[in-house]
Chains A and B, each alone.
Chain A
Amino acid sequence: MGVSSMAAGSDAMQLQLCVFDLRRGQQEGQELDKILFFYPSDCPFLTQLSLIGLCEGIITFTRIFSPEAACEVIEAEKHSHVFYEAEPDIWMVLVVEKSKDDEPVWRCEALQGVLKEVHSLFKMFYMSIYALLDKQPSGELARSHLHSFITDYLSDFQLGKKVQMPSFRDSLKERGTVQMLTVSREVALEVQSLITAISSCCNGCDSIILFQDLLVSTTLPPDDTTNLFSYATLRLTPHALSSSTSSSWSYLRKGNSTPNLSNLTLLNEHQSRSLDASSLGQNRQISSIPRLLQRDKWSKGKDGFLVPNFSGGESTPVVWNQQTEECKYLCVYQQKGITVVMLVPVSSLANGEQELVQVKKEFLENVAQRVTIVEQKLSRGWGGENAYHVSGYRYLLIDRDRSVSRATPTGKVTTLTKESLLYLNKLREEVDIEKWRWHRDNPDQEKELEVCIRAKNNAWVIAKVTRGKELYMVLEKANETLLYATDAVEKFSNRYCEGAFSMEY
């Protein structure tokens, strides 16, 4: 594995992330061919091979007993290895080093969520790793794409020299979900007419609208919405554009310092430039890979549209809609707090990007005014970053069916003690395992679970799962009785969850 040997040499060595293809490098001496991505890239090949050897061994071993479900985690005293089979036989493994006091600081599913997110985003721009490997069987195309993409993605987790993965402190957050803005009926009608106006700009045009870092509306199916929402909050929203200012109230992102991974990526860029790669789903020839996750590469143009300025090319990025299996141009219009992400089908524009100018023009003429009105109305009703704080409660509410979550604002979560967050992290891990079991045993049957723990530090740590909805809660200053805690949950459920978690008997 060699993780610890590297850890000794460098402070920054807290994390390894690799992507490998089990179908490749079957011949002895060609094992390196398995590796599609390895972070850190300066890690010695022997160490890389050692880690992949262990992972491959464990994958093969666990299949003896569990042919239907793949290996998910290897837990060792000093490291956790979290697995995600991104595509058949293509594995992503994240290795995180534990802190010295051996606290259970991570949740396996939260770490898997990171791998899932980066892979989903990758697929949004490049269709799949498979597709890239098919296009160029030597693997260089896939390697160079993965390298720039994952490295850019990891820059968001960088704190100083270290890459900081989501820990117990993020127990009241849920990656891979969308955070919605609640709007009044009046505003909702305005938004609806705005959506209609956008779709009339161009045939088959989809859109998602965000206000600050919250979703206002979408015309996309849930998976595509989640991906685009993640990308928007990472790179497009007003907050993301000014990400050099460190304070963040985004639910999932930390404030970040300027990335210093870029020098690593230059290496690969050089390689990729030599490839005559074509982007996917279309015949657009490009000389190098547009690094769509690179930070600070979107800037606001005079007309309100965001201008991409990626080192791989300045053309409008294209995204792949999983649901409709369609390539679409990504056009982003921003006005103060509101961000409109338009997806224009590539196939609908006979002359490609040139025609896109026409679409934008039409937007500015017919839609921009409506955007201004909606923005004003949303701003007026906007309660600020603590809008969804509920006094006395620290909560996370997840609707799995819609991939939507709402939570106590980050600033308020930090008032909880470390212990309470650790308890919640542990409870969430238990609930995760229980949910996996349900899913495996009987995926169709609705299951319910309620857990209320009076913890050592007298906090109530609560989890409720019912009909695809989950509620996690920490009550630190609550009364000691279980009935009081139950009552508090009941009140919350009735007031904020339309009674979804209320007792029925």
Chain B
Amino acid sequence: MDSNPDNPVQDQDPASESDEPSPADPNQNRTDTTEPDDPPPADSDINPTQTSESVEHNTVEPESSVPERLKSLTLQEPSSEDIRQKHVSNGSLPADFYASDEIEIVEEEEEEGGLASSSGGGGVVTWTNRSDGPPSPSSSGYAAEGGSSVASSGGVEEETEGNSDWGREKKHFHEDDGSDSWRKRKKHFFILSNSGKPIYSRYGDEHKLAGFSATLQAIISFVQNSGDSIKFVRAGKHLIIFLVKGPIYLVCISCTDEPIEALRGQLELLYGQMLLILTKSVNRCFEKNPKFDMAPLLGGTDAVFSSLIHSFSWNPATFLHAYTCLPLSYPTRQAASAILQDVAESGILFAILMCKHKVVSLVGAQKASLHPDDIFLLANFILSSESFRTSESFSPICLPRYNPMAFLYAYVHFLDLDTYLVLLTTSSDSFYHLKDCRVRVQNVLAKSNVLSEIQRSMLESGLRIEDLPSEPTRPPVERINTESISTQRTVGGSAGLCHFMYKSVYLNQFVSSDFSAPLKNPNQQKRLYRAYQKMYASMHDKGTGTHKTQFRRNQDYVLFCWITQDFELYATFDPLADKAQAIKVCNRVCQWVRDLENEIFLYAESTFSW
């Protein structure tokens, strides 16, 4: 991969844990504007979190389940009480987070706009449950469908496989730490406060888990009191990972055989997702009141967290710390980038065009760069919140790697089912301006056929290992030394190649091949994903540094990893693959990716920002 010294992608070290905003951050001061002294009146009828242009209809997507339909129906006529409840749910933030002058413009009448909560599907449901009982922000309308998960004898499976249903899958609300099924779940995530109050639990009702949460807090505090800090506990196949972030404690309890480093990274992302919704200013609430109950702030964001946790078992971005692009012809991407650049010059911090989890184009204001983790968390937030799909939204969000202390404002609009435009600004009153920008972008994209190209690319498959050219098209720049390997030529797949991932270190982008025949089963894919996770952890050791190559063979695969200054290649072969042939194929994969880099990677950032 060519190095590009002018590439403006700041290498924000993923390991850096700085609590302070980056000194280079031009928007550092804007933090102040988001932390007002003058909160909106508590009984204001205006939803401070988000405005909505369109009413949420009770149109139901084809894949919606019956409870989903029921849920939508119940929402059609919110009671006056529902509207009142809105202020404490669905990502609504406490007074500390908002300036009175930041209350967003509501385009539609409140009764309608209120339905489009920032937290989408999960949050919308909560209102129907509020009229009786305690305010349980994450109470689920699905409480009764507890039988939906089947407990197996060897442990309860994780969330369903496949990428379609996670968002609407509710955590198993009837469970608590006394339930056998709860104890057997393969992977728990908890967020709690340093006073032991539960904030989030992947499974079960947080309120019922108060005792359990207090136990976790006690363990952490006990070790802290001795001047140490607990990192993990291992018991049999179970790993308990602890992450302390100021007043917030995060814990993962897993028997998924993932490496410690990977699980810790997932807790970091979970924390990042929480910051994206709340910013780090939430710490201030704990300074004022150590017993502060934070759970209501995240009320209704269950879908966001469950989709995030689901992505820990399928999306390599979660451990590669890189993003992936939708493959597009160079001119098409250029056209998209040009119009984004055009609008970005009018005071927009970042303009991002995405299709599902893939970036189509990304343009940043001068010297501003987006960390891949921020892109990932933002996309997860948008894609898992149903309301973004149905309405034009203007929502405060925080990019934790960019500036964990401050809110930005995200204008989000879905241009079609999967493609959406995100315009990020520091100004809270830019809604109309951003809306105009969006209209301009949308017109240009439509005229230049970019949208149809995007859809075509989505339908077409990506890199298929069967298409790996049999002969390098030009001499490779850097090769693994293969002096003694045989000269027998093989095509991709026949040397036993099953899959590969390639990360461009400079671009912070990765590309992975489609899953081919031996890996069609989602369980096999998840197993391979976990094998990559292990390989990544093994190659990137914080203590001892990054290794150069690794060959690993077990019953299931041969895994090959090759890391240079420019790229990281992870390739999977049949367990009986011949080493020499595998090395040769790896060289060809690298060459192939380089040949295609204009289509599979985004260079626009460097081209347009300077």
Contact = CB atoms under 8 A, between A and B. Distances in A.
Interface string B519-561: 0000000000000001000100101111111111111000000
Contact of A423 (B482, B484, B544, B576): B544
A1 B229 contact: no
Interface string B342-375: 0000000000000000000000000000000000
A132 interface: no
Contact of B544 (A74, A449, A456): A456
Nearest to A58: B233
B594 interface: no
Nearest to B253: A65
A78 B234 CA distance: 17
A482 B255 contact: no
Interface stretch (A2-10, A140-148, A274-282): A2-10
B226 A3 contact: yes
Interface stretch (B32-40, B128-136, B236-244, B399-407): B236-244
Given A64-B177, A77-B231, A447-B555, A5 B237 contact: no
A505 B387 CA distance: 56
Nearest to A487: B484
A376 interface: no
Contacts of A414: none
Contacts of A71: 233-235
A422 B544 contact: yes
A477 interface: no
A482 B480 contact: yes
Interface string B200-229: 000000000000000100110011011111
Contacts of A134: none
A430 B538 contact: yes
Given A1-B222, A65-B238, A69-B237, A455 B547 contact: yes
Nearest to A481: B481
Contacts of A419: 544
Looking at A57, A70, A427, A482, which has the most chain B CB atoms within 10 Å of its CB?
Answer: A482
B230 interface: yes
A405 to B, nearest CB: 23
A58 B238 CA distance: 13
Tell me the dominant secondary structure on chain B's binding face: mixed
Contacts of B432: none
Contacts of B255: 65-66
Contacts of B235: 62-63, 65-66, 69-72
B77 interface: no
A78 B547 contact: no
A138 interface: no
Given A1-B222, A75-B231, A440 B543 contact: no
A412 to B, nearest CB: 22
Contacts of A58: 219, 233
B485 interface: yes
A76 B230 contact: yes
B543 A482 contact: no
B416 interface: no
A450 B228 CA distance: 37
B284 interface: no
Given A1-B228, A76-B229, A62 B238 contact: yes
A440 B547 contact: no
A248 to B, nearest CB: 28
A28 interface: no
Interface string B465-508: 00000000000000011111100000000000000000000000
Interface centre among A53, A450, A455 (most CB of B within 10 A): A455
A45 interface: no
What band does the interface of chain A fall in when counting residues whose beta carbon is under 8 Å from B? 35 or more
Interface string A414-428: 000001001100110
A450 B226 CA distance: 41
Interface string B283-312: 000000000000000000000000000000
A498 interface: no
A75 B233 contact: yes
B481 A480 contact: yes
Contacts of A430: 534, 538
B228 A454 contact: no
A253 to B, nearest CB: 27
A104 interface: yes
Contacts of B240: 61-62, 65
B540 to A, nearest CB: 11
Contacts of A448: 553-555
B69 interface: no
B245 to A, nearest CB: 15
B580 A483 contact: yes
Given A1-B223, A2-B226, A483 B485 contact: yes
B2 to A, nearest CB: 24
A61 B480 CA distance: 49
Contact of B222 (A57, A456, A481): A57
Interface string B157-190: 0000000000000000000010000010000000
Interface in A408-458: 419, 422-423, 426-427, 430, 436-437, 440, 447-456, 458
A480 to B, nearest CB: 6
Contact of A57 (B219, B544, B555): B219
Given A426-B544, A447-B555, A482-B549, A440 B237 contact: yes
A73 interface: yes
Nearest to B535: A451
A50 B236 contact: no
Nearest to A462: B551
B610 interface: no
B177 A104 contact: no
Given A3-B228, A62-B240, A77-B229, A483 B223 contact: no
A458 B547 CA distance: 9
Contacts of B484: 481, 483
A63 B177 CA distance: 12
Nearest to B578: A505
Nearest to A77: B229
11 contacts: A57-B219, A62-B233, A74-B230, A76-B223, A76-B231, A77-B231, A427-B538, A455-B547, A458-B548, A480-B481, A483-B583
The 3 closest A-B pairs by CB, nearest first: A69-B236, A62-B235, A1-B226
Given A53-B222, A422-B544, 4 more contacts: A57-B219, A76-B230, A456-B544, A505-B576
